[in-house]
Every structure is written in C-alpha cells, then in structure tokens.
C-alpha cells in the first residue's frame, strides 16, 4: 500500500516540492508548436504549478517565462507582441524571447538600466511539433529526450493535446494498467465477435492476464501475457519512461510508435500530449463485420479554448455532464455507457478526485506495474532530494530509444525478454532498426 507520506511525495509538483524539483531537471513539453504564431497574443500556460506566458516573436523565436513583468509584476499576458518581443502594457518595458529587457521607454535614457533586467525565462527548444522547456537549475542543459515517437519528422508526427482534470499520476497510471481494457473499453465484447486477424481478441478471451515486470534504465516495463493459439503466448508490452512518459500497446510491437506525455499543470490538472508516427497509427478494434466496437468509436470533442490558466484543450465530454453516460446503452451494448476510449479513461481517473487517496487502495497482482513504477519514482525523487543523484538516462537519453509498447505472439517456451528483443530487432519506423540500447 502507498502511504499518505509517499502519496504526497509522488503527487505534489509545485516549486520546492521533491517531485517538482525532480521533474524540473528534465525537458518538459510545454505546448504544441502550432499553437504559437509570430506576433500573436501571448498564451497562458500552467506548468508544474507555475504561471507562465508563451509567445512567438516576429522572427519565429519562442519565449516562455514567468507571466509577471520584472518591473512592477503586472501580467505580461496583456503585453503587446511586437517587433521581436513583448512590450508590457503597464509602462512599455520590452522583453525579447530570452526574457532580456531591451527597452525602458518611461525611464530617461541616461538613467535606464535595461541590460540589468531580465524576466524569469526558461530555455525553449522545438522538435517534432512540440516546444520543450527546461525549468531546472543545471548550468549545462541536459540533452533533449529521445523517446521514439518524438523523433519522427515533424510533418510525419501526430500530436494531440487533451487536458485531464486530476493529478498527473492517477491519470498516467491508466496507461500502466492493461487489464482494464477487457472491462472499461470492451467489457461486453466476446472474442468470437472480433475480427480473427486482430490480436485484441485475446484480451477479451482472457480478461485476467499474468504479468512480467522489471525496472529498466529508462524507467519500468511490463509484459502482460495470455494464452494465444496452441503453444503460443500473446504479449502486451508497455513502458514507463522517467519522469512522465508512457509508451502503450496499440498495435504490433514491430511498428507501434506512439506514446503519451503526462505533464502536470499543477497538482490537480494534467496536460496530456499524445504523440505518434502518422504512418502507423493503429485502428480501433473491429467486429467481424467491419463495424467498430460500441463505445470505442467516439472522437475527441473540445470546448472552445479560453484565455484562463486551464482554458486549453478541455473535453466537451466531462465530469460536468457525467461524460454523457447512457444507461440504456450500458445495459446491453457498452460496458460503461460512455462513448470513446479517452472519455472512458477520463471518467474513471477523474472520478477518483483531484488527488486519489492511495491509502484506501487494495492492490492486486494485476497492479504490479503500478506498484513497481511508484517505487521507481519514489527512489528517484528521494535520491535527488538527498544528494542530487539523477537517473543516468537523463544525460544518456538514447537508451530510451529501445523503449516501445506493443503486442506480440510467440512460442510459450520463449523467454519474454527474448520475445521483446526479437521483435525490436525487426522494428519498423523512421529510425529504422538502429534504435538499440547503448
């Protein structure tokens, strides 16, 4: 059982908290590149409990820094984005994308000291349709993460944002819990109803898998295993990559290049970046007649974005309307009565409350990946708080290229790690077959 003290350590991410300090040592995805337009109005961001503003200047440079003007602390959300920088609406002080003050028009020229004033800015880098920021205190910045879905060419990368109204950890743990597919998403589906070509049929034929779980250089991994055909085993592999990445099974391991990034906005809001290789985005599971399984087919619907701190990428299907649950459909067509995998996941994780009280849990063998991942996080955060020790993969990010989620079928006699290695040796993707661990 996770204790109350451990739960606090795992879930609180604001400035000065152990988890918040740890996460700030990594590059943090902040916003999609497409959301910032040159000379457009600044955008409010909430990341790790900090209120920030983001903008793109005239020349395409991205600036992300504390929303308070260093002069009198008025919010730079109201600033003018003009001619290579933000000009505060209060007294006209101007700041470039690095946060450096470049103009003090209300101060006599002989007394101005713009060279000595700088907004609290975070280094920002763009790659694959995402903008990352570094919020830590290292003088030498770590390399960017090398998680496979984020290394695809920008034009060939799918990036989708969704806000989750709960703590980052309980939202993320849904990706580490494979047995829920046979209930939350496919609870009324029988294996005989599914296309015989899909491996998904084994998930509903055997709804209680067994597990292999281990720690890795990049975090943790599991393989849920079930019987397949005679003398074969069906595997579902998934990965957790420090500090908040998941690579989930959504197709064959040889070509499933997709993952989620669970970025804490604050203790009770999470921005999820879903990233995948466009060429191999797996379809939904289908019945034999080609129709999608009821409950899986609904696509994301968003409320209009607003300018408040939590105003971006909010689902129109949410806790205020009970996720549009239909009790009639729930009786005989859909296990939940909620349409859409994302909405089903939202309903269960947000229903736990802002931060779930993990002292009330009764964990089972099906939760082994969750248990080991929590301990991996606790160990990493504690080590950093004690003496500044950080995971080696932070400075050797290439090891995480070998992390991928996906399905595979192999002979019963074959070791599960050998199955993983064999499938990865045949892996397809924009990185080719060079994505081997160091």
Residue 82: which CATH number? Answer: 2.102.10.10
Helix (H, G, I), strand (E, B) or coil at 405: coil
- What the block records as the tokens of 170 is 């309980």
pLDDT value at 438 more than 70: no
Dihedral in degrees, nearest 10, Cα atoms 361, 364, 370, 372? 110
Q: Does pLDDT of 187 surpass 70?
A: yes
User: Within a domain: residue 437?
Assistant: no
Give how many domains the chain has, as a whole number.
2
The model carries a pTM of 0.94
87 & 214 share domain: no
Residues 270 and 352 in one domain: yes
pLDDT digits (tens, 9 = 90+) for 225-239: 999 988 999 999 999
Residue 178 lies in a domain: yes
Nearest to 164 by CA among 173, 155, 151: 173
Q: Which of 83, 102, 134 is the last residue of a domain?
A: 134
The pLDDT > 70 percentage for the chain reads 94
> Which of the listed residues 134, 162, 188 is the one where a domain comes to its end?
134
> What pLDDT, on the 0 to 100 scale, is given for residue 436?
44
CATH number of residue 184's parent domain? 3.90.380
Q: Does residue 256 lie in a domain region?
A: yes
Residue 19 domain-assigned (yes or no): no
- Same-domain check for residues 81 and 153: no
Contact present, 214 and 233 (Cβ < 8 Å): no
Whether the pLDDT of residue 437 is over 50: the answer is no
Q: What pLDDT is attached to residue 199?
A: 84
Judgement on whether residues 330 and 239 belong to the same structural domain of the protein: yes
Q: Identify whether residues 328 and 405 lie together within a single domain.
A: yes
- Co-location of 223 and 164 in the same domain: yes
Q: Which 3-state string (H, E, C) describes 98-117?
A: CCEEEECCCCCHHHCCHHHC
CA distance 211 to 209: 7
Q: Are 124 and 62 in contact (CB under 8 A)?
A: yes
d(CA 295, CA 287): 12
Q: Are residues 124 and 72 in the same domain?
A: yes
Residue 47 is part of which domain span?
Answer: 27-134
Examine the domain organization and report whether 211 and 78 are in the same domain: no
Residues 61 and 152 in one domain: no
Average pLDDT over residues 37-60: 98
CB 201 within 8 A of CB 191: yes
Q: Report the C-alpha gap between 134 and 125 in whole angstroms.
A: 9
Instruction: Check: CB of residue 37 under 8 Å from CB of residue 400.
Output: no
Q: Which residue has the higher pLDDT, 152 or 367?
A: 367
Q: How far apart are CA 398 and CA 175, in angstroms?
A: 23
Q: Which of 134, 165, 200 is the last residue of a domain?
A: 134
Look at 211-220, 246-255, 259-268 and tell me which has the smallest mean pLDDT: 246-255
């Amino acid at each position: 059982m996770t204790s109350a003290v451990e739960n606090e350590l795992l879930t609180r991410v604001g400035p000065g908290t152990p988890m918040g300090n740890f996460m700030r040592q990594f590059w943090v995805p902040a916003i999609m590149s497409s959301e910032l337009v040159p000379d457009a109005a600044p955008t409010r961001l909430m990341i790790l409990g900090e209120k920030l503003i983001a903008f793109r200047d005239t020349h395409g440079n991205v600036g992300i820094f504390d929303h308070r003007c260093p002069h009198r602390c008025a919010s730079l959300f109201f600033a003018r984005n003009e001619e290579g920088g933000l000009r505060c609406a209060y007294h006209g002080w101007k700041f470039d994308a690095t946060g450096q003050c470049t103009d003090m028009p209300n101060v006599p020229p002989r007394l101005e000291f713009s060279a000595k004033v700088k907004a609290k800015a975070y280094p920002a880098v763009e790659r694959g349709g995402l903008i990352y920021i570094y919020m830590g205190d290292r003088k030498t910045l770590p390399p960017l993460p090398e998680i496979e879905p984020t290394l695809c060419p920008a034009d060939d990368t799918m990036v989708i944002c969704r806000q989750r109204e709960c703590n980052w950890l309980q939202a993320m743990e849904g990706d580490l819990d494979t047995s829920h597919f046979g209930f939350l998403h496919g609870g009324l589906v029988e294996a005989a109803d599914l296309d015989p070509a899909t491996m998904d049929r084994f998930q509903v034929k055997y709804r209680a898998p067994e597990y292999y779980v281990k720690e890795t250089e990049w975090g943790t991994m599991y393989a849920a295993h079930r019987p397949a055909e005679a003398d074969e085993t069906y595997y579902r592999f998934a990965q957790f990559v420090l500090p908040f990445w998941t690579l989930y099974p959504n197709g064959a391991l040889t070509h499933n290049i997709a993952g989620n990034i669970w970025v804490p906005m604050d203790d009770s809001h999470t921005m999820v970046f879903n990233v995948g290789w466009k060429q191999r985005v797996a379809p939904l599971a289908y019945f034999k007649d080609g129709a999608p399984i009821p409950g899986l087919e609904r696509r994301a619907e968003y409320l209009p974005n607003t300018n408040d701190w939590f105003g971006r990428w909010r689902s129109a299907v949410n806790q205020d309307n009970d996720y549009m649950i239909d009790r009639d459909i729930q009786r005989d067509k859909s296990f939940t009565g909620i349409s859409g995998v994302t909405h089903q996941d939202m309903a269960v994780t947000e229903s736990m409350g802002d931060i779930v009280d993990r002292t009330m849990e009764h964990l089972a063998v099906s939760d082994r990946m969750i248990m080991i991942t929590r301990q991996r996080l606790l160990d990493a955060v504690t080590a950093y708080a004690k003496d500044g020790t950080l995971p080696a993969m932070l400075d050797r990010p290439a090891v995480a290229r070998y992390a991928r989620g996906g399905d595979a079928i192999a002979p019963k006699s074959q070791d599960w790690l050998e199955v993983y290695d064999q499938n990865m040796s045949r892996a397809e993707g924009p990185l080719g077959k060079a994505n081997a661990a160091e």
